[in-house]
Chains A and B, each alone.
Chain A
Amino acid sequence: MTALSIKHVWKEYGDQIVLENISLEIAPRSFVALVGASGCGKTTLLRMLLGQEQPTRGTILLDGEPLPPEPGPDRGVVYQRYSVFPHLTVLGNVMLGPEMAGSRLWGRLTGAPKRALQDKARQMIADVGLAGSESKYPAQLSGGMQQRLALAQALMMQPRVLLLDEPFGALDPGIRSDIHELMQRLWHALPMTVVMVTHDLREAFTLGTRIIALERTRTRPEEIDRYGAQIGKDIAIWPPRVAGGGTIYDNPALRDDPALDTMIAGRPDLERL
Chain B
Amino acid sequence: MSQTYLPGQTRQGERILIAIAVVLTLLFIVAPLAYIFVRAFSEGWRVYAQNILDPATLHAIWLTTMVAIIVVPVNVAFGVVAAWAVAKHRFPGRGILVTVIEIPFSISPIIAGICYLLLYGRQGLLGPWLQANDLQVMFALPGIVLVTMFVTAPFVAREVLPLMQAQGSEQEEAAVTLGASGWQVFRRVTLPNIRWALLYGAVLCTARAVGEFGGVSVVSGNIRGQTNTLPLHVELLFNDLNAVGAFAAASTLTLLAVVALILKAVLEGKRST
Q: Which of A45-90 contact B (CB under 8 A)?
A: 50, 52, 70-73, 75-77, 79, 81-88
**From residue B88, how far is it (CB to closest CB) to chain A in Å?**
14
**A106 touches B (CB below 8 Å):** yes
**From residue B176, how far is it (CB to closest CB) to chain A in Å?**
5
Knowing A81-B170, A82-B170, A87-B193, say if A157 contacts B184 (CB, 8 Å). no
Question: Which residues of A have CB within 8 Å of B170?
Answer: 79, 81-82
Mark interface residues in A179-215 (1 if CB within 8 Å of B CB, else 0).
0000000000000000000000000000000000000
Question: Which residues of A have CB within 8 Å of B175?
Answer: 85, 96, 100
Q: Which of B169-207 contact A (CB under 8 A)?
A: 170-171, 173-181, 183-184, 187-189, 192-193
Knowing A100-B184, A104-B184, A105-B183, say if A73 contacts B171 (CB, 8 Å). no
Pair B176/A100 contact, Cβ less than 8 Å: no
Question: Which residues of B have CB within 8 Å of A96?
Answer: 175, 178, 188
Q: How distant is the Cα of A164 from the Cα of B183 in the complex, in angstroms?
A: 26
The residue in chain B whose Cβ has the minimal distance to the Cβ of A72 is: B179
Pair B188/A107 contact, Cβ less than 8 Å: yes
**From residue B194, how far is it (CB to closest CB) to chain A in Å?**
10
Q: How distant is the Cα of A86 from the Cα of B184 in the complex, in angstroms?
A: 16
Q: How distant is the Cα of A241 from the Cα of B189 in the complex, in angstroms?
A: 39
> Which of B174, B176, B187, B193 makes the CB contact (< 8 A) with A106?
B187
What range describes how many residues of B lie at the interface?
10 to 19
Q: How distant is the Cα of A83 from the Cα of B188 in the complex, in angstroms?
A: 14
Knowing A79-B170, A85-B171, say if A104 contacts B181 (CB, 8 Å). yes
Mark interface residues in A87-117 (1 if CB within 8 Å of B CB, else 0).
1100000001100110011110000000000
Pair B181/A100 contact, Cβ less than 8 Å: yes
Knowing A71-B176, A101-B179, say if A82 contacts B171 (CB, 8 Å). yes
Question: Which residues of B have CB within 8 Å of A85?
Answer: 171, 174-175, 188-189, 192
Chief secondary structure at chain A's binding surface = loop
Q: How distant is the Cα of A191 from the Cα of B132 in the complex, in angstroms?
A: 71
7 contacts between A and B (CB under 8 A): A73-B179, A86-B193, A97-B179, A100-B188, A107-B187, A107-B188, A154-B178
Pair A77/B181 contact, Cβ less than 8 Å: no
Interface residues of A (CB under 8 A from B): 50, 52, 70-73, 75-77, 79, 81-88, 96-97, 100-101, 104-107, 153-154, 157
Question: Which residues of A have CB within 8 Å of B177?
Answer: 50, 52, 71, 75-77, 154
**From residue B94, how far is it (CB to closest CB) to chain A in Å?**
19
The residue in chain A whose Cβ has the minimal distance to the Cβ of B176 is: A71
Q: How distant is the Cα of A73 from the Cα of B192 in the complex, in angstroms?
A: 23
Q: How distant is the Cα of A76 from the Cα of B178 in the complex, in angstroms?
A: 7
**From residue B232, how far is it (CB to closest CB) to chain A in Å?**
42
Question: Which residues of B have CB within 8 Å of A104?
Answer: 181, 184
Question: Which residues of B have CB within 8 Å of A70?
Answer: 176
Pair B179/A107 contact, Cβ less than 8 Å: no
Question: Which residues of B have CB within 8 Å of A81?
Answer: 170
Question: Which residues of A have CB within 8 Å of B188?
Answer: 85, 96, 100, 107
Pair A82/B176 contact, Cβ less than 8 Å: no
Question: Which residues of A have CB within 8 Å of B181?
Answer: 100, 104
Q: How distant is the Cα of A87 from the Cα of B173 in the complex, in angstroms?
A: 16
Give the 8 A-B residue pairs with the shortest CB-CB distance, closest first. A82-B170, A97-B178, A87-B192, A71-B177, A73-B179, A107-B184, A107-B188, A77-B177
> Which of B173, B174, B180, B192 makes the CB contact (< 8 A) with A100?
B180
**From residue A155, how far is it (CB to closest CB) to chain B in Å?**
11
Q: How distant is the Cα of A76 from the Cα of B175 in the complex, in angstroms?
A: 11
Mark interface residues in B20-59 (1 if CB within 8 Å of A CB, else 0).
0000000000000000000000000000000000000000
The residue in chain B whose Cβ has the minimal distance to the Cβ of A77 is: B177
The residue in chain A whose Cβ has the minimal distance to the Cβ of B189 is: A85
> Which of A105, A106, A153 makes the CB contact (< 8 A) with B178?
A153
